[in-house]
Amino acid sequence: MADVLVVAEAADGKLKKTTHSAVTFARQAAAALGGTYSILVIGDALGDAAAEAATLGAAKVLVAQASSLKDYVAERYVPTVAAAAKGTANADPRTSATYAVVVGTASAYGKDLLPRVAARLSAGFASDISELLPEGGKLKYKRPMYAGNAYGVCTVSTPVQVVSVRQSAFAAAEPTGSTSPIEQVAVVPPSAAAERVEFVSFDQVKSERPELTEAKVVVSGGRALKERFNEVLDPLADVLGAAVGASRAACDAGYAASDLQVGQTGKVVAPSLYIAVGISGAIQHLAGMKGSKVIVAINKDADAPIFQVADYGLVADLFATVPELAKQIQAARS
């Protein structure tokens, strides 16, 4: 029997939605392995995060809470996550378990933390998995490569496997109606590296809009919008209740916050509706949004590559079209 450990991501006393995608993966993996899954909630001032994790059908919820874990720094988290995975962090050794698969989401947090956890466990690490392919009690993983131009199927040969999953490829897990037992685990003192890293600040970009990776509708803008990025896109995003995204060129030029970048090296989104405005459609951008259900492109260049993936393409000047679109959608809805 082999069990799965989900490394949760918590912020402001709540679970982040990324955790729910990893739980969905864990349910599939545990079913394939004939085991169970547990959730590790780690940090400081965890608030309701553990209680919320306990609604997600886990065999148990492990909680590692300490003021030394305030302000996430990988070096302080890794030893505790690794110990929990090995079952050596449990307060009561009789209830400890070792985990065969450790999973988190390929968010900035998961990308930073999980490979280090793998190294500490001498485990193989497969990142950004888009599909789990169980085969005879073993796990195979499918993951995008080459900016989504190819998919590789891989196996991890070590006794413990560490993986991160692509949030847009695993639906958020819903509560099961049961409540999992909650168990405290010890916080393991960090190693030498932690002494040499100091958390300085976190400058949060405040936004009233839905998070890009969770939004049902995303309106993205490219370099063409120039300084009028928000002036043009906001009204459209408002009528659609959409998240706003951007191409790298728009971020680099400072028209949009870098946190909004959609693409191979930015965020991967898969909403029901993606509207690309003044975006050429470079492969690096397509890699982040090709999985969207319906894609609309507005571009004045009829040959722009974005039209090759768009379900509906409109060849037009965006400055005239986008306000008109916002107006007509508003009218169509009321």
Partner 1 sequence: MKILVPLKRVADPDNANKVKIPASGDKIETTGLEWKPNPFDEYALEAALRLTEDGKAPKTRAGEVVVVTFGPKETEPTLRAALATGADKAIRVDATDDKLDGDLVARALKTLVEREKPDVVVMGKQAVDGDSNQVGQILAELLDWPLATFAATIKEEKGALLVGREVDGGVSTLRVRLPAVVTVDLRIVAPTSVYSQKTAPAFKYNDGVRFAALPAIMAAKKKPLTEVKLADLAADQALKVQYTAFQPPPARKAGIKVKDVSELVSRLKNEAKVI
Residues that bind ligand FAD (CB under 6 A): 222-224, 247-250, 261-266, 278-280, 282, 284-285, 288, 299-301, 304, 317-319
DSSP string over 68-135: GGSS--HHHHHHHHHHHHHT-SBSSGGG----SEEEEE-SHHHHHHHHHHHHHTT-EEEEEE-EEEEE
- Does 307 bind partner 1 (CB under 8 A)? Our answer is yes
Smallest distance, ligand FAD to C-beta of residue 275, A: 12
61 binds, among partner 1, ligand FAD, none (CB under 5 to 8 A by kind): none
Judged by CB under 8 A, which of 2, 6, 69, 73 binds partner 1? 73
| 192 belongs to the binding site for partner 1 (CB under 8 A) | yes
User: Cβ closer to partner 1: 31 or 314?
Assistant: 314
* Greatest extent of the chain over all pairs of C-alpha atoms, in Å: 68
Least Å distance, CB 175 to partner 1, is 24
Of residues 221 through 240, those in contact with partner 1 by CB under 8 A are: 240
Min CB(184)–partner 1 separation in Å: 25
The closest of 165, 320, 172, 329 to 242, measured between CA atoms, is 329
Q: Is 276 helix (H, G, I), strand (E, B) or coil?
A: strand
* Residue 142 touches which member of partner 1, ligand FAD, none, C-beta under 5-8 Å by kind: partner 1
Contact status: 272 vs partner 1 (CB under 8 A): yes
Per partner kind, with CB cut-offs from 5 to 8 A, the member of ligand FAD, partner 1, none near residue 165 is none
Answer yes or no whether residue 301 interacts with partner 1 by CB under 8 A.
no
User: Which CB, 111 or 300, lies closer to ligand FAD?
Assistant: 300
- DSSP letter at 214 equals T
Rounded least distance, CB 44 to partner 1, Å: 16
Q: Kindly compute the dihedral angle of the four CA atoms of residues 318, 319, 322, 326, in this order, to the nearest 10 degrees.
A: 180
For the CB of residue 232, give the shortest distance to ligand FAD in the complex, in Å.
10
How many other C-beta atoms lie within 10 A of the C-beta of residue 322?
24
Confirm if 176 and 55 have CB atoms less than 8 A apart: yes
Among 44, 75, 234, 238, binds partner 1 (CB under 8 A): 75
Taking CB under 8 A as the rule, does residue 309 contact partner 1? yes
- What single-letter amino acid sits at 308? Q
CB contact set of 200 (below 8 Å; sequence gap of 6+):
none
List binders of partner 1 among 122-141 (CB under 8 A).
123-128, 140
Q: Could you say whether residue 64 binds partner 1 (CB under 8 A)?
A: no
Task: Give whole-number Cα distances, 313 to 3, 144, 191, in Å.
Answer: 47, 26, 54
Contact partners, residue 44, CB within 8 Å, separation at least 6:
65, 66, 67, 68, 69, 70, 71
Counting Cα atoms < 13 Å in the Cβ hemisphere of 247 gives 23
Q: Verify binding: residue 156, partner 1, rule CB under 8 A.
A: yes
Q: What's the closest the beta carbon of residue 240 comes to ligand FAD, in angstroms?
A: 19
Euclidean distance between CA atoms 294 and 47, whole angstroms = 38
Task: Find tokens 């793998």 and name the residue.
Answer: 118
Q: Which residue lies nearer to partner 1 by CB, 57 or 281?
A: 281
**Span of 40-48, 86-94, 220-228, 323-331 interacting with partner 1 by CB under 8 A:** 323-331
Of 1 and 331, CB closest to partner 1: 331
Residue 181 binding result from ligand FAD, partner 1, none, given CB thresholds of 5 to 8 Å by partner type: none
Binding of partner 1 by 194 (CB under 8 A): yes
